[in-house]
């Protein structure tokens, strides 16, 4: 385990720092953390001024009990110096290392930079953050505690997961955070003393995680079922538990319920086909809004086939019936075919249907074959089609399903 600490230029006084049932008298919190956690190496970030004032004293305090490595940093007076500090912290840690951070004696913006660097290391280098600590020295206090600020790193995890949900609709990372909170609560033994315990966070996480997977992999029927199950969770109890144990998620809960709740439909395979069609069109809108063009195009093709199955009064889940509809749709774009297929009676403009099906089939096939063809369609063309044309053309074909 590696301890990363920062030396400032203050006049540090000896004091008796405490951590749980341990105590040590020292002017340096870094020494206290070394005694409490026994890191195998200690990396000390120092400005020129801090090194002149404290480096020799710190070496004497720690002696040869711990391996110390000084790393020079600027004082952070400019943007360039800020990036130098960030680079120094990030470069000092090897991938997959277990790390402790001490920000007690840092000054100016350095504590914030260290926190951000810690969050970056956790993601970019798979570093395990064992703790972020601050020694709360007070001149009139004999035994100042050492505070664990690790939740500040978790807050950045919430920020990342929230951004992912808002931009892509995926709540997989939020689900993992919720599950981890409940698991850690019981693993740590807190449940033995606590009057109130988290009992639903993992369930919430499992539900929204399942919804995200169904959204990503275009499982509309599973999505409807999972959204209905999520909607059935007791709202008041959810809000109370989230407010106590997952405060950042409290701000998102209502939006997630609204965003995913629109797809809720219990037992979709037994539900009315028109209700399923409307839910699928809501999903199409959602894919387009989130910029998920591949999912939108793949779903749109199947949606048209399902719409004609509904019009014909046949089971839209029956493969043979879907094949019959596909063959008729193929007739509309076959230059050799002079006869209108039976499904033409369900649309006002067969040429419009032909144009929509032709383009959608071409684009869907181009996506499915991943450019393994002599002539392909550009990503920009596919993106523009999804954003501008797709929903408009489907709405014109079947206005009853898009209300």
What is the tens place of the pLDDT at every residue in 201-222? 999 999 999 999 999 999 999 9
Stretch (H or E) spanning 101: strand 98-102
**Same domain assignment for residues 87 and 170:** no
Of 22-31, 50-59, 86-95, 145-154, minimum mean pLDDT range: 145-154
Q: Please give the residue that has the higher pLDDT: either 351 or 54.
A: 351
Judge contact between 90 and 123, C-beta under 8 A. Answer: no
The beta-strand segments (E) located in 36-87 are: 41-46, 67-72
Where among 148, 177, 204 does a domain terminate?
148
Identify the pLDDT of residue 215. 97
**Same domain assignment for residues 256 and 333:** no
Q: The domain that contains 136 carries what CATH number?
A: 3.40.50.10640
pLDDT digits (tens, 9 = 90+) for 250-286: 888 889 999 999 999 999 999 999 999 999 999 999 9
**Same domain assignment for residues 288 and 361:** yes
pTM of the model: 0.82
Q: Read off the pLDDT of each residue in 88-102 and give the average, rounded to a whole number.
A: 92
**Same domain assignment for residues 159 and 243:** yes
**Same domain assignment for residues 260 and 290:** no
**Same domain assignment for residues 136 and 158:** no
Judge contact between 344 and 350, C-beta under 8 A. Answer: yes
**Same domain assignment for residues 255 and 306:** no
Please give the Cα distance from 237 to 105 (Å, whole number): 43
Q: What is the DSSP string of 156-212?
A: HHHHHHHHHHHHH---HHHHHHHHHHHHHHHHTTGGGT-SS---SHHHHHHHHHHHH
First to last CA, the chain: 59
Q: Read off the pLDDT of each residue in 160-184 and give the average, rounded to a whole number.
A: 91
Please give the Cα distance from 170 to 216 (Å, whole number): 8
CA-based torsion, 288, 294, 297, 298: positive or negative: negative
**Same domain assignment for residues 175 and 139:** no
**Same domain assignment for residues 219 and 134:** no
Q: Read off the pLDDT of each residue in 224-234 and give the average, rounded to a whole number.
A: 94
pLDDT digits (tens, 9 = 90+) for 372-396: 988 899 999 999 999 999 999 999 9
pLDDT at 142 over 70: no
Identify the pLDDT of residue 138. 61
Band (153; pLDDT cuts 50, 70, 90)? confident
CB atoms within 10 A of CB 224: 24
Residue % of the chain over a pLDDT of 70: 97
CA-based torsion, 383, 386, 388, 389: positive or negative: positive
Q: CA angle 31-33-35, nearest 5°?
A: 70
Judge contact between 164 and 173, C-beta under 8 A. Answer: yes
pLDDT digits (tens, 9 = 90+) for 294-336: 999 999 999 999 999 999 999 999 999 999 999 999 999 988 8
**Same domain assignment for residues 267 and 248:** yes
Identify the pLDDT of residue 139. 53
Long-range contacts: 263-269, Cβ < 8 Å, 24+? 263/211, 263/220, 263/223, 263/224, 263/227, 264/224, 264/227, 264/228, 264/230, 264/231, 265/224, 265/225, 265/227, 265/228, 266/224, 266/225, 266/228, 267/225, 268/220, 268/221, 268/224, 268/225, 269/221, 269/317
pLDDT at 167 over 60: yes
Where among 221, 251, 271 does a domain terminate?
271
Judge contact between 357 and 332, C-beta under 8 A. Answer: yes
The DSSP call for residue 55 is I
376: Cβ contacts below 8 Å, ≥ 6 apart: 366
Where among 231, 248, 271 does a domain terminate?
271
Find the domain containing 72 and state its range.
2-148
Nearest C-alpha neighbor of 402 from the set 269, 319, 307? 307
**Same domain assignment for residues 181 and 84:** no
Band (176; pLDDT cuts 50, 70, 90)? very high
**Same domain assignment for residues 218 and 156:** yes
Domain tally, the chain:
3
């Amino acid at each position: 385990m590696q301890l990363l600490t920062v030396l400032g230029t203050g006049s540090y006084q000896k004091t008796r720092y405490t951590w749980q049932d341990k105590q040590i008298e020292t002017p340096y919190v870094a020494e206290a953390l070394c005694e409490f956690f026994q890191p195998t190496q200690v990396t000390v970030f120092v400005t020129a001024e801090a090194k002149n004032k404290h480096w020799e004293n710190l070496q004497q305090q720690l002696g040869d009990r711990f391996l110390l490595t000084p790393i020079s940093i600027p004082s952070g007076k400019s943007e360039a110096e800020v990036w130098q500090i960030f680079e120094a912290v990030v470069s000092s840690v090897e991938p997959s290392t277990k790390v402790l951070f001490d920000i007690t004696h840092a000054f100016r913006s350095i504590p914030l930079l260290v926190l951000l660097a810690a969050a970056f290391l956790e993601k970019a280098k798979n570093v395990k953050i064992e703790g972020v600590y601050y020694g709360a020295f007070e001149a009139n206090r004999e035994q100042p505690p050492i505070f664990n600020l690790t939740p500040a790193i978790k807050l950045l995890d919430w920020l990342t997961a929230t951004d992912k949900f808002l931009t892509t609709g995926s709540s997989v990372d939020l689900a993992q955070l919720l599950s981890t909170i409940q698991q850690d609560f019981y693993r740590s033994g807190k449940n033995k003393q606590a009057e109130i315990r988290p009992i639903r966070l993992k369930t919430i996480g499992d539900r929204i995680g399942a919804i995200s997977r169904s959204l990503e992999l275009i499982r509309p029927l599973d999505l409807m079922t999972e959204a209905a199950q999520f909607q059935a969770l007791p709202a008041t109890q959810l809000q109370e538990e989230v407010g106590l144990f997952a405060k950042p998620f409290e701000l998102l809960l209502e939006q997630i319920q609204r965003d995913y709740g629109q797809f809720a439909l219990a037992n979709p395979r037994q539900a009315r086909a028109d209700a399923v069609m409307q839910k699928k069109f809501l999903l199409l809108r959602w894919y387009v809004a989130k910029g998920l063009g591949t999912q939108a195009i793949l779903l749109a093709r199947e949606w048209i086939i399902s719409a004609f199955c509904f019009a014909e009064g046949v089971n839209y889940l029956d493969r043979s019936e879907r094949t019959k509809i596909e063959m008729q749709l193929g007739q509309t774009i076959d230059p050799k075919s002079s006869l209108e297929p039976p499904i033409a009676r369900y649309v006002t403009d067969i040429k419009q249907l032909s144009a929509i099906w032709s383009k959608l089939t071409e684009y869907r096939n181009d996506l499915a074959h991943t450019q393994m063809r002599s002539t392909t369609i550009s990503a920009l063309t596919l993106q523009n089609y999804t954003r501008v044309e797709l929903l408009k053309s489907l709405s014109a074909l079947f206005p009853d399903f898009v209300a």
